[in-house]
A = this chain, B = another copy of it.
């Protein structure tokens, strides 16, 4: 059952959670350990983005007309009740999902991409630069750059560049310049290549390269795909719409679920329900066992990128040098988690749970065969958690309303599902040793 929303209900403001936080949000720091000023970000980000990043007072931020016009191309997105799934599980729970994968881009990431491309373009930048793992984020930004007539350069993790070819093709078809990272275009890339000419790269390395690129060109701005406050701010359109749709379905959510990599899908769904917290909503962030930043990380200041080029954030982190096992869900492999979400976890406002990739993909296939939609690999973790919550409701005879975000479709992931169906996907153990080594290399002065 689809619970639609009229065009006129497209939000005209983003929701800024920061003024509503009951706990002080630790500020970002420069990479050398000083308090980060707005000026420190000037060469990296458009002024409007910097202002949003530091906004502590306004609960609502007006969405520019140009951005809202873009949103209206695919928003409001539908919210579905998964009645076939409920029936198969024989659960008294009601399962809802907000679907972000049917728009022009393949995922929710377009929500911030069009905003960032707009601000960069309107403030005179000629080019934006970013880093991407499996390509969803890069694709969203490539689409957005075409809308605002601005060039797009993407540093793509080399293992994804060579493996997940569809994301790369799509960015190139859309006119973006895609470079495999580590590349020989930047000092950061060259440094990695000098140590390991066959380096598969990582999102943290690609970020270092993109930062360096943006710093070295006055006409270029860097775009963040996740983690930062302003990205999660833009993503709140997802939860704002979902909140109205749940009201329309006369269903107060008892459990909110999203998969978490850096936090943009989670924050986008969950933050707009934060003012309802007196109503005892469970908020569940679902991690992959192989990269459990919240569940196994340390709450401390760490670099956003491998080379420590940009800034430090207080967050749950596995260490900026953490080498992830080769799991398939590229979007869940970042070493840290959004500072706001990290704070909420620290203050026990949210919960975290991990799953192995095989159990997640199995849930993804159950969902695909009942609902007709194949979730992205990342979303399959959220699906697994939703199934488990629904089964727990069955056990306890509880009539809960479960809401999760299906933030992307499976365009880039069909080969992984095929490998799973054919039995060639192995689970990846949690590499405790890797985490220990990476955490030892945290910026010492800043550790708690």
> When chains A and B are docked, how far (Å) is the Cα of A228 from the Cα of B410?
32
User: Which of these, B4, B175, B374, contacts A173 with CB under 8 Å?
Assistant: B374
A52-93 CB mask vs B (1 if < 8 Å, else 0) is 000000000000000001001110000010001000000000
Which A357-379 residues have a C-beta within 8 angstroms of B?
Answer: 365, 368-374
> When chains A and B are docked, how far (Å) is the Cα of A372 from the Cα of B365?
29
Nearest Cβ distance between residue A255 and chain B, in whole angstroms? 23
Interface assignment of A6: CB less than 8 Å from any CB of chain B: yes
Given A2-B7, A103-B102, A411-B411: A73 in contact with B417 (beta carbons within 8 A): no
Given A2-B72, A7-B2: A172 in contact with B374 (beta carbons within 8 A): no
> When chains A and B are docked, how far (Å) is the Cα of A74 from the Cα of B99?
11
> When chains A and B are docked, how far (Å) is the Cα of A32 from the Cα of B369?
41
Chain B residue, CB-CB nearest to A71: B2
Collect the chain B residues with CB atoms within 8 Å of residue A104's CB: 371-373
Given A72-B2, A104-B373: A421 in contact with B173 (beta carbons within 8 A): yes
> When chains A and B are docked, how far (Å) is the Cα of A7 from the Cα of B248?
14
Task: Find out whether the CB atom of A170 lies under 8 angstroms from the CB atom of B372.
Answer: no
Chain B residue, CB-CB nearest to A76: B4
Most interface-central of A1, A72, A173, A368 (chain B CB within 10 A) = A173
Given A143-B372, A373-B104: A421 in contact with B2 (beta carbons within 8 A): no
Interface assignment of A174: CB less than 8 Å from any CB of chain B: yes
Task: Find out whether the CB atom of B105 lies under 8 angstroms from the CB atom of A173.
Answer: no
Chain B residue, CB-CB nearest to A415: B169
Most interface-central of A1, A6, A69, A368 (chain B CB within 10 A) = A368
Given A7-B2, A7-B4, A147-B84: A105 in contact with B372 (beta carbons within 8 A): yes
Collect the chain B residues with CB atoms within 8 Å of residue A103's CB: 102
> When chains A and B are docked, how far (Å) is the Cα of A146 from the Cα of B84?
10
Most interface-central of A72, A147, A372, A418 (chain B CB within 10 A) = A372
A412-436 CB mask vs B (1 if < 8 Å, else 0) is 0011011001000000000000000
User: Which of these, B102, B146, B173, contacts A370 with CB under 8 Å?
Assistant: B146
> When chains A and B are docked, how far (Å) is the Cα of A9 from the Cα of B165?
40
Interface assignment of A166: CB less than 8 Å from any CB of chain B: yes
Collect the chain B residues with CB atoms within 8 Å of residue A415's CB: 165-166, 169
> When chains A and B are docked, how far (Å) is the Cα of A74 from the Cα of B369?
17
Seed contacts A165-B418, A174-B369; 9 additional CB < 8 Å A-B pairs: A1-B72, A146-B369, A146-B372, A166-B414, A169-B414, A169-B418, A170-B374, A174-B372, A175-B369
Name A residues whose Cβ lies closer than 8 Å to a Cβ of B: 1-2, 4, 6-7, 69, 72-74, 80, 84, 102-105, 143, 146-147, 165-166, 169-170, 172-175, 365, 368-374, 411, 414-415, 417-418, 421
The 7 closest A-B pairs by CB, nearest first: A169-B418, A143-B372, A102-B102, A104-B372, A169-B414, A173-B417, A175-B369
